Amino acid sequence: MKCYYATSFPQTSPWLMLPSDEENVVNTCCFYSLREEKIYTVKNVLQECHDAWCVGSSYGWLVIMDNNSIPHLLNPVSRRRIQLPQIWSLHCPINPDSIEQLRRNFIAKAVLSSDPSHNDSFVVAIIYGALPSKLGFCKYGEKGSRWRGLEGVHGEYCDVIFHKEKLYALAGDGSVEVWDFKKCSTPIKTMNLHQPFLELESVNRITKDLSKEKYSTQTYLVESLGEILSVGRVIGNFVNHEGTAICEGDLDEYGCFCPYRTLQFYVLKLNFTANKWEKVESLRDRALFLGGNQSMSVSVHDFPECEEDSIYFTDDRWDEITLDVGRDHDYDYGGHDVGVYNIANKVVKPIYEFRKWRVDPPPFWIVPNPW
């Protein structure tokens, strides 16, 4: 493994951030380059945020929670760090015994409105809490900056993205809320697209044969060529060595160890005029990068190392990843579900071979930013 410094990072497609493969090394970040098929190592990145837990990635910056559950922005290439306001204003539990759970579970996802490298005033938006999850934000650079909640009307949120200074929030039923952060100090909801039943038909045709006992789904938002896409990820809860999803009751037949794996994706685009989702058959010359990061779309002409009409994904199944490492060894996995899915041939391929089924902390997509 070779160590590279900020000035030597080339402009490239998103890199896969990995935990160090060296034992007892906690301050080192590793990055896998798709183009070069090699690992870059950056040492002493987390010295001031020991044992940090990542909850987001935007513009080359990580949103991390330190071991006291204080949020920070960290650029692992330039090593710049920005401390954000503490999250207690969101009425999260402050029991010292729950700090570790709070650090890993309170914020499900965080995204940035702009690049902090070039703008001292930006917004951090989050999905936080559970059952139901909520929307929150912090305007960094504003006097008296603190975390505040957004009065969303939905009880569960799947994903959030920023596009042209507007926050798009996807709810579990396919509805989309749009919040404008540009016009005044308090964001204004400019759109609330409810999902009529007819809009579910495209998804139902795909998922009608998916048993809830065998499969689960996760949904993402991504902007691509000016369009807002909803990307559904179908995960086999227990997948045998042949790549077939099985019921939990059949684990004994397959030797118990059948970790969850992503098997399929489907893509819809939002028709703002008709107020409905429409099926997308091809991404054309685009590749999507999904996971705990702010979802991205890149051109395969600009980055030929990426496969066209494909979806690159990392593991963000937090309920599995954050389970205690000391659990039953037969189920000791999480963070491992990483790969690329081709929409045309419906095939999932690995992009990196892990030594263990449990990858902790889990991998993240990040665009190297040397500033």
Q: Which amino acid is located at 240 in the chain?
A: N
What ranges make up the beta strands (E) of 14-105? 15-19, 29-33, 38-42, 53-58, 61-65, 71-74, 81-83
pLDDT tens column, 296-334 = 999 999 999 999 999 999 999 987 776 654 445 555 888
- What phi and psi, each to the nearest 5 degrees, are found at residue 201? -60, -40
DSSP 362: P
Which one of 96-100, 150-154, 168-172 scores highest in mean pLDDT?
A: 168-172
Read off the pLDDT band of 189 (50, 70, 90).
Answer: confident
Question: Of 271 and 338, which is predicted with more confidence?
Answer: 338
Tokens for 120, please give them: 């001292």
Which one of 3-7, 98-102, 219-223 scores highest in mean pLDDT?
A: 219-223
pLDDT tens column, 80-113 = 999 999 988 887 765 656 777 788 889 999 999 9
Residue whose C-alpha is closest to residue 114's, from 124, 126, 103? 124
pLDDT tens column, 29-57 = 889 999 999 998 887 776 666 678 899 99
Mean pLDDT of the chain: 84
Entry pTM: 0.90
Sequence-ordered alpha helix ranges (H) in 288-340: 318-321
Of 3.40.50.11540, 3.30.1490.20, 2.130.10.10, 1.10.3720.10, the CATH number of 50-195 is 2.130.10.10
Question: Of 252 and 140, which is predicted with more confidence?
Answer: 140
Query: Which CA distances in Å does 330 have to 206, 261, 289, 361?
Result: 32, 16, 30, 19
Handedness of CA 74, 321, 168, 306 (dihedral sign): positive
Q: Is the pLDDT of residue 4 over 70?
A: no
Give residue limits of the domains in the chain: 50-195, 198-370
Q: What residues have CB less than 8 Å from 356, skipping those under 6 apart?
A: 336
Read off the pLDDT band of 6 (50, 70, 90).
Answer: very low
Residue whose C-alpha is closest to residue 350's, from 316, 321, 315? 315
Q: What is the pLDDT of residue 167?
A: 95
Q: Is the pLDDT of residue 24 over 70?
A: no
